[in-house]
Structure 1
Amino acid sequence: MPTALVVAAWLLVPGLVAGYLAGLRGIVAAGLAPVASIAIIAATAVVAGGLGLRWSVPVALAGVGVAVLLVAAVTVATRRWFPRPEADPRPVTLAALGGFVPALVLGTITILMAIEAPDTLSQTYDAVFHYNALAYIGDTGNASSLTLGTLGNTEVPPSFYPAAWHDLASLVMLSTGASIPLAANLVTAVGAVVVWPLACLLLARQVFGRNVAALVVTGVLSLGFTAFPWNLLGFGVLWPNLLGMAFAPALLAVVLTLTHWTRDDALGIPRAWLALVVGVVAAGLAHPNVLFSVAVLSVFPVGARLFERGWRLHREGRTRRGAAEVLTVLILAAVAWYWTATTPTFAPTRDQYWPPFETKAAAVGEVVLNATNKYGALWLLSLVVIVGALAGLRRTEMRLLLAGHVVVGFLFVLAAAVNVPETRKFTGYWYNDSHRLAAILPITGVPLAVGGILYLAGRILAATADKPDWRRRVATAPSVAVAVVLTAVLVVATAGLYPTDRRDRVSIGYLERPRATLVTAEMREFYDRIAEQIPADAVVAGNPFTGSSLLWALEDRKVLFPHFRAAYSEEQTYLAGHLDAAATDPEVCAAATDLGVEYLLVGGVEFRPSDDQWEYFEGLDDPGTSSGFELVDSSGPSKLYRLTACDTSAEPNG
């Protein structure tokens, strides 16, 4: 818990201070705080990397200080032209807080149910990269998104990888001394149970205005959808994507503000523009996928405002100007789409292939019932969403959200049931992955569900107003009480908003399963033991599919292959295929000496044995009694050998 509080402090405090100085208050300040904090911290890491400064708590705090001073200076200089928006009345803010607390409890219970211990390892494909990225930051002090992609491999050019999640996790490690698995789990958990509900509250505040009933139920409803945040906690594992998507509702709220589709706006246009810039920085450094997701949902509010403006200009007799503005925006949007759909820059993302796994009808049903990717249907919650969608047809902003919901559902169907080259021009921004697309649905699903609760509460009040027996108890009750009761009934009727489904979506990434386990408990004990026998500056070769790659993250002993697929040099590639011939192949010794390889770690597990990348590491099998290797230690199938054929242990590394 103390470490979790430190995570929350890094995610909230910098943004709250900057937001307060910018004139934000209440729900708006809280909802945008994580966005600002992530932008400040991730941008500071990039600047520090460029200046050659070692990433540390003082450096991060200095970046926060500079950002806060800059916000204060801009606010003072512009306060005459951009007065602060009117703050929400205290009952409105208290209602949001009151709804947030049970959401926090509900989310924490889910985490405790799904993850056995706070430092439990995620047994997933992408977790290896994220764990070793934290090890790389700890070793080198470089947390810049501009260089993280190669994990410090000096044999290949550095590449971009959005590092906001890694920056935060590394700060938690530096602040508390937490281990890599602990920091990774807690940053992700806090993103799910704190950042996501706060962002949903901001979206609800802008859509429903100062509606106490809406705000008091939003927090709980936000955690009932299993596709997000729970699915991304177990699938992949997509931790950076989850952190970015957690604040996506806040960015959509900013877009609604800028397009004037809000009720009782609490942000203001000038501050919304500033929030948009900060949000783009945060999303770009957290995960660019967030920008694409928000862009899809923004098509309808932006398009509706654009055509409304064009129609207004037509009625004012300025038809040519209106047509020119509309046509210009449409052309720019089409060019942007065509470029992103064809440019080689996004080719690795766009060309990812996931085989279709269900029929179109089944995929449509999963969207309607919030049962994406063959999980259990959320019957009652989905019914509330449908009610909200139908009731919202009378309000423009709700129709715009519904349109976005339908389009995202259509994209999910394309990815889950079709996925052909023609559809990848539309789904390629999300790796053609149904899980990533499904994660967008709750962004609009939450306000639709809130709208459903409000509609049902209104109907109950109207239906009972003329019944004398119920007049005192119901007809005079405020709508907030009825909304709370309806939400409570939903929670009770679903045994806590489908806790089993939430738990299963998270726990699947942490379970030790045949052919899907990276490191077992026995292997962790073995790694603890051999770490004392491996010099701190030695490099250990090993097939990452046998768990060897996590020796770096767990024991701070650098490995030659920190991930399954990466940009490796010619020497690394040669060792991957020929290290077992060290005693007879001089080229092996030359490469091993250059790279500082002194040990070989084999055995352990067989993770994804059907993956064709296994062939790349065919020279890293157990050498047995072959000459050139000396057995140092073993435990079950796990064995550590010292490479004696090249005498690298007696030579200076590199």
Structure 2
Amino acid sequence: MSWIEVTPVALVAAGWLFGPGLPVAFLVGLRGIAAFALAPVVGIAVVASTAVVASTVGLDWSVPVALGGTLVAAAVAGLLAFLLRRKDLLRPTADPWRLTAIALVGLLPALALAALAVMQAVGPPDSISQVYDTPYHYNALAHIRDAHDASSLTLHALGDPETPAMFYPAAWHGLASLVMMSTGVSIPVAANVFCAVITILVWPVACLLLVRQLFGRNTAALAIAGVVSIAFPAFPWDFFGWGVLWPNLLGMAVAPAIFALVLTVTGWVRDDVIGRGRAWLLLAVAVVAAGFAHPNVLFSLVVLSLFPAGAALFVRAKRLREDGNGRRGVVECVVFAVVVLGAWAWSATTPMFDNVRDWPWAPFETPAAAVGEVLLNATNQREALWLLSAVVVVGALTARRMPAIRWVLAGHLVAAFLFVLAAGLNRPDTRVFTGYWYNDSHRLAAMLPITGVPLAIAGVLFLAARARPLAERLAPVRARTAPALSVVLLVVLVVLTGGLYPDDRENRITVTYPRVEKDKLVNDRMRAFYDRVAERVPSDAVVLGNPFDGSVMLWALADREVLYSHFLKEESAEQEYLGRNLADAAEDPRVCAAVHRYRAQYVLIGRNDPHIAEITPYEGIAGVPYADGFELVDRAGPTRLYRITACG
């Protein structure tokens, strides 16, 4: 299978990412860049909310149900626009078509460079991601396919009634399942193509809106924004491979657009194309979208928003003082500080976040090295991006010229501080700051490109202005303009970096798609064998297996449900007992009772690794080949399928 063959799948994925939100965006008066950048934000909220409602009322999750939710959202937006028509809050606003065209043309080379990087890193579009979190995400899609339920209130259990109910942000899974249902492609193809579209299209467009609000109708800034947006490997490239953090990838991809809403409501924008009243409305929708995508996104946006919000209140307090109402301004500032500090104190100590806050990542470098990585955009011990980092530093040094960029720089510095804490210290006393991101340096580093993109653009614009006198002496008239000089400088940056450091981008993705067979959880031989397993195992049977030997992937790859469905599954006492004692099925009635309880009929032994065989609580599964009561059905090298005969 080639990427050319899955082009229609990519178009469907783009349709599901932008389609549900576009009608709402247009009905509330958004046009051009703003409409397209905020459409995924609205769409995430609409699709994820529809999935929850459908599950609650007993409707099967399907394409028609998702389209029905889209129609309801559009009807609500239309009614709201009608009711508010006299208040002028939702009056359509738009940039000149020429400005929008320049921005879209500037996106084209970004799309080409990003698409090339994804194709090179992933390999064939049906390649399997093989890292720690992948089995959960794949099997979540398998569960949605089989159970027709994509609700964030039920997905955590993957259909296991013995797993405690818990909220899990399922927007990525709900949307990816729609791609799968609409096209009929396999789970790996749907996941790869969906993540590719998020990386290649959603993130650059979201950055474009942030740049539009910060720099106004600046054609130079908009012309280069698309290419600059893909230059920072910490996001989105790192999230394509690390973890894998696909729900975070979706949420952080729209974070620049949500940050643009924050800057709009706080007044730190130039030539506003959104409108403050509309921004407040969409910000409420964005909170829902971020929560369903991944709550980490909300915490990241809070960090980036503190300074513009605080500064806006301070400016308001000064104005109130000049109007003779200084006490009110002081009260508002004090209330803001109390709310922020109180919320932080509560969230830093509440048991609700214990499982997130206490995640035990060890520091892997010195704080000084972590600071250097931030300055060189080489987070998590990656390649130093010297030229790009120099441009960012130039932009930071010119921040005093633009008030809004000052607060972007402040957010950048806070994100850098949090990254240094996670990468260089990560002690119990630092986790009160970094615990909202699992104390994970990768999640914290992902905030830096959100602020790094506008800082880099500010740097390019400053350098272009400095180069203009030289251009007036050496170049024809057309090359003297600010947009032309900015584009020339960006082209120079792209050429000197070999295409904006493509090796670093690709390496960040490739870690999840290993090329060497011994590094794969499910190698090519096992994958072919799983197709045979699907022919031998009835569709209603459950298969037992040690998830760490690759059997966990059977559900996603061959549509045969496995009991132990991911590496961090919360197992009941009976499930744990079954895993420990399965080999004793011929002698232990409790084992057979559990076998019948979970509809288990077969056992799959995956990779032959003695260390995997010893993992608790799956020792009993490892003993199956040497025990009575199990019949060998098929095998391919060390990978074997057994039927349980001991339990009748």
TM-score band by shorter chain is over 0.9
Q: Which amino acid aligns with 2:309?
A: V
Query: Is the 8 Å Cα contact of residues 518 and 605 (structure 1) preserved in structure 2?
Result: no
Structure 1's unaligned 5+ residue stretches are 648-654
Deviation at 1:515, TM superposition (A): 7.1
Deviation at 1:610, TM superposition (A): 8.2
Deviation at 1:63, TM superposition (A): 0.5
Question: Cα deviations across residues 459-499 of structure 1 (Å, max 9, x unaligned)?
Answer: 1113444x4xx26447x722111111111111111110011
2:495 aligned partner:
492
2:43 equivalent among 37, 42, 45: 37
Secondary structure of 1:642's match? strand
Give me the whole-angstrom Cα distance separating, in 2, the residues matched to 1:531 and 1:86: 55
Counterparts in 2 of 1:441-456, with a 5 A limit?
Answer: 441-456=448-463
Secondary structure of 2:169's match? coil
2:32 aligned partner:
26
Give me the whole-angstrom Cα distance separating, in 2, the residues matched to 1:373 and 1:495: 22
Give me the whole-angstrom Cα distance separating, in 2, the residues matched to 1:315 and 1:172: 56
Q: Which amino acid aligns with 2:189?
A: L
Q: Does 1:132 align with 2:139?
A: yes
Q: Which amino acid aligns with 1:620?
A: I
Question: Cα deviations across residues 88-136 of structure 1 (Å, max 9, x unaligned)?
Answer: 1111101110111111111100011101110100011101000000000
Give me the whole-angstrom Cα distance separating, in 2, the residues matched to 1:83 and 1:283: 23
Deviation at 1:350, TM superposition (A): 0.6
Give me the whole-angstrom Cα distance separating, in 2, the residues matched to 1:181 and 1:605: 24
Deviation at 1:359, TM superposition (A): 0.8
Q: Which amino acid aligns with 1:95?
A: I
1:337 aligned partner:
344
Deviation at 1:500, TM superposition (A): 0.8
1:550 aligned partner:
553
2:604 aligned partner:
601
1:426 equivalent among 421, 426, 433: 433
Q: Does 1:4 align with 2:39?
A: no
Q: Which amino acid aligns with 1:580?
A: A
Secondary structure of 1:432's match? coil
Secondary structure of 2:616's match? helix
Q: Does 1:348 align with 2:348?
A: no
Cα distance change on mapping 1:390 and 1:530 into 2, 3 Å = same
Which segment is superposed worse, 590-599 or 437-446?
A: 590-599
2:590 aligned partner:
587
Q: Number of aligned pairs?
A: 641
Cα distance change on mapping 1:585 and 1:515 into 2, 3 Å = farther
Query: Is the 8 Å Cα contact of residues 583 and 627 (structure 1) preserved in structure 2?
Result: yes
Q: TM-score when scaled to structure 1?
A: 0.96
Q: C-alpha root-mean-square deviation of aligned residues, in Å? A: 1.5
Deviation at 1:598, TM superposition (A): 1.1
Q: Does 1:517 align with 2:520?
A: yes
2:58 aligned partner:
52
Query: Is the 8 Å Cα contact of residues 132 and 552 (structure 1) preserved in structure 2?
Result: yes
Deviation at 1:314, TM superposition (A): 2.8
Give me the whole-angstrom Cα distance separating, in 1, the residues matched to 2:633 and 2:351: 47
Query: Is the 8 Å Cα contact of residues 30 and 198 (structure 1) preserved in structure 2?
Result: yes
Q: Does 1:363 align with 2:364?
A: no
Deviation at 1:229, TM superposition (A): 0.5
Give me the whole-angstrom Cα distance separating, in 1, the residues matched to 2:407 and 2:49: 33
Q: TM-score when scaled to structure 2?
A: 0.97
Secondary structure of 2:643's match? strand
Q: Does 1:223 align with 2:230?
A: yes
Give me the whole-angstrom Cα distance separating, in 2, the residues matched to 1:471 and 1:102: 24
Q: Which amino acid aligns with 2:578?
A: L
Query: Is the 8 Å Cα contact of residues 471 and 480 (structure 2) preserved in structure 1?
Result: no
Deviation at 1:605, TM superposition (A): 5.4
Give me the whole-angstrom Cα distance separating, in 1, the residues matched to 2:193 and 2:41: 18
Deviation at 1:622, TM superposition (A): 4.0
Give me the whole-angstrom Cα distance separating, in 2, the residues matched to 1:162 and 1:57: 20
Cα distance change on mapping 1:273 and 1:606 into 2, 3 Å = farther
Identity of aligned residues (%): 56
Deviation at 1:316, TM superposition (A): 3.2
Secondary structure of 2:270's match? coil
Query: Is the 8 Å Cα contact of residues 515 and 606 (structure 1) preserved in structure 2?
Result: no
Cα distance change on mapping 1:83 and 1:574 into 2, 3 Å = closer
Question: Cα deviations across residues 364-420 of structure 1 (Å, max 9, x unaligned)?
Answer: 000000000111011111111111111122211011000100110010000001000
Give me the whole-angstrom Cα distance separating, in 1, the residues matched to 2:286 and 2:277: 14
Deviation at 1:360, TM superposition (A): 0.9
Cα distance change on mapping 1:606 and 1:373 into 2, 3 Å = farther
Query: Is the 8 Å Cα contact of residues 348 and 432 (structure 2) preserved in structure 1?
Result: yes
Counterparts in 2 of 1:282-301, with a 5 A limit?
Answer: 282-301=289-308
Give me the whole-angstrom Cα distance separating, in 1, the residues matched to 2:101 and 2:17: 21
Query: Is the 8 Å Cα contact of residues 631 and 642 (structure 1) preserved in structure 2?
Result: yes
Question: Cα deviations across residues 433-464 of structure 1 (Å, max 9, x unaligned)?
Answer: 00001111000000001111111111111344
1:252 aligned partner:
259
2:385 equivalent among 367, 378, 389: 378
Deviation at 1:600, TM superposition (A): 1.0
Structure 2's unaligned 5+ residue stretches are 1-6
Which segment is superposed worse, 516-525 or 313-322?
A: 313-322
2:287 aligned partner:
280
2:272 aligned partner:
265
Cα distance change on mapping 1:83 and 1:236 into 2, 3 Å = closer
1:71 aligned partner:
77
